[in-house]
Amino acid sequence: MHHANHFYGHANVMAKYAGLGNGEPPRIWGYLQHGWNILDGFAYNTAFVDGMPKFVWSDSVRRRGWSMGLRNYSVIGSVWLYLLKVYPELATPADDAAGTIFYPFHGWEGQNVLGDHGRIVASINEHETGPVTVCLYWNEYDNEAIRKVYTDAGFRVITHGYRGLHWRKTDGDFLLKQLRELRKHKRVASNRLSSAVLYGASVGLQPGVYGDPMLLENEHPSFGGQARIRRLWPELNEPYVPLDVAREFTDTELGVEHVAGPTEIREMFRWNSIKVAS
């Protein structure tokens, strides 16, 4: 089914959770939400096949989809929550956790980000006092000029890897690498409220959102842009967001109450014919 199901190694995580082992994950029968989404759960103009299930993180996504005339939703929570169950040994921070991991808003193969990374550096220096790790997505990381802006500022600069595209070059450990890096820090921040901020807050990192939000090249207006996000969740667009406020939001948006069991996942994804790993 849809290649976006495999983004960030999501299909790998779900297959392992469902008891299918660490091999090449099978195709998921349906569409799996791959990132925090303020519309119907999926990228704009996703070509849905009639009758195919849509697996989304939260009931708020399902309700918005229904209001747009979409059907066949199943709310199962985010893949991130299943990752936490697969790797319980990473349930607590590292003993030497320190500083902040910052995720600049990123583009992808089809759209670039337009903005000044130097202004992001200035914002980080204004708000952070401890060591800083900047995590770039692969296409910004591969740009030496962008990477140099952050290394020249004295920041540690990393990437979690390549999310994959059309079933190629997917890093099946992308999310696991992200979890391991989050566990090395006490704070998570970004210039936009995003999946990374939700993930960090969900495991106890104190979150922040600040700095130039940048622009996504040819961003479709159906999502409402940053104006909509700031209007809906002003309390989460602050340099220092109280953790209890953030956790209430992340528990809802990540779908903590909707996590399914391994048997249910095998049934919904049509993986029942596949032998469970011993």
Q: The CATH number of the domain where 136 resides is what?
A: 3.40.50
* pLDDT: which is higher, 263 or 166: 263
Within this chain, do residues 243 and 262 fall inside the same structural domain, yes or no? no
Q: Is residue 20 part of a domain?
A: yes
Q: Is residue 216 part of a domain?
A: yes
- Report residue 36 as tokens: 């925090």
Pair (76, 104) in one structural domain = no
Q: Tell me: do 214 and 114 sit in the same domain.
A: yes
pLDDT, tens digit, for every residue of 63-89? 999 999 999 999 999 999 999 999 999
Same domain assignment for residues 84 and 201: no
- Which residues span the domain enclosing 155? 90-253
Q: In this structure, are residues 209 and 191 in contact, taking their beta carbons and an 8 Å threshold? A: yes
Mean pLDDT of the chain: 91
Average pLDDT over residues 122-132: 97
- Which pLDDT score, from 0 to 100, does residue 3 have? 86
**Whether residue 128 sits in one domain with residue 111:** yes
Question: What is the per-residue pLDDT across 218-272, written as a single tens digit (0 to 9) for each?
Answer: 566 566 677 888 999 999 999 999 999 999 999 999 999 999 999 999 999 999 9
For 46, list phi and psi in degrees, rounded to 5: -60, 130
Of 106, 91, 99, which is closest to residue 216 (Cα–Cα)? 106
Sign (positive/negative) of CA torsion 211, 81, 4, 40? negative
Same-domain pairing of 245 and 152: yes
How many domains does the chain fold into? Answer: 2
> Residue 158: pLDDT above 80?
yes
**Per the domain annotation, does 96 fall within a domain?**
yes
Same domain, 162 and 195: yes
Do both 54 and 13 map to the same domain?
yes
Residue type (1 letter), 220: H
Same domain, 111 and 248: yes
pLDDT at 170: 79
The verdict on 111 and 53 lying in the same domain is: no
Supply the DSSP symbol for 99. Answer: S
Phi, psi angles (nearest 5°) of residue 77: 80, 170
Whether 116 and 239 share a structural domain: yes
> Are 142 and 236 found together in one domain?
yes
pTM attached to this predicted model: 0.94
The confidence score (pLDDT) of residue 217 equals 59
SS3 content of the chain, % helix, strand, coil (to 5): 40, 15, 45
8 Å CB contact between 45 and 218 = no
Is the confidence at residue 165, as pLDDT, over 70?
no
Pair of tokens at residue 167: 């079933």
Query: Does some domain include residue 94?
Result: yes
Residue 106, φ and ψ in degrees, nearest 5 = -125, 165
Measured between alpha carbons, how far is 218 from 239 in angstroms, rounded to an integer? Answer: 27
pLDDT at 111 over 70: no
Q: Which runs of consecutive H residues, i.e. helices, occur in 155-217?
A: 174-182, 195-202
